[in-house]
């Protein structure tokens, strides 16, 4: 992710994608194999904190693979998951955003 005014928007979009992928995963697979979501989320949190502190944002090298894995998984979900699971994930994201919770990921 780059620095500048668009960095916060890009970070927010990555969070949204991780959470939508998580919700689809939870609907289609269940609450198992959640570590990749937790690791990717932690990497983007670290990126957001660094962005606020220094103005420079970027996903830490240690988190690149996890974030990339979730983004690729989400691409596959969009191709293979039932439309109702994708629609439900978007509703759940909106519901999560309206709460005070820090993360929707179970056990995070």
DSSP string, 30-61: -S-S-HHHHHHHHHHHHHHHHHHHHS-----H
* Domain of residue 25, residue span: 4-98
> Per-residue confidence of the chain (108 residues) as pLDDT tens digits?
444 445 788 889 999 999 999 999 999 999 999 999 999 999 999 998 888 888 777 888 889 999 999 999 999 999 999 999 999 999 999 999 999 999 999 765
Considering the domain boundaries, does residue 108 fall inside one? no
Global confidence as pTM:
0.89
Alpha carbon distance 81, 23 (integer Å)? 11
> Is the distance from CB of 22 to CB of 37 less than 8 angstroms?
yes
Q: Collect all residues with Cβ–Cβ distance below 8 Å to 48 and sequence separation of at least 6.
A: 8, 11, 15, 57
**Any domain includes 52:** yes
Determine, yes or no, domain membership for 104.
no
Tell me whether residue 73 is in a domain: yes
Q: Is residue 106 part of a domain?
A: no
Number of domains, the chain: 1
């Amino acid at each position: 992710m780059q620095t500048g005014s668009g960095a916060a928007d890009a970070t927010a979009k990555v969070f949204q994608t991780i959470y939508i992928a998580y919700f689809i995963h939870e609907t289609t697979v269940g609450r198992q194999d959640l570590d990749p979501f937790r690791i990717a989320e932690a990497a983007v949190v670290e990126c957001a904190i660094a962005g606020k502190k220094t103005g420079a944002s970027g996903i830490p090298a240690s988190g690149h693979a996890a974030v990339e894995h979730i983004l690729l998984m989400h691409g596959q979900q969009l191709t293979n998951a039932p439309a109702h699971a994708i629609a439900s994930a978007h509703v759940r994201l909106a519901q999560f955003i309206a709460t005070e919770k820090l993360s929707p990921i179970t056990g995070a």
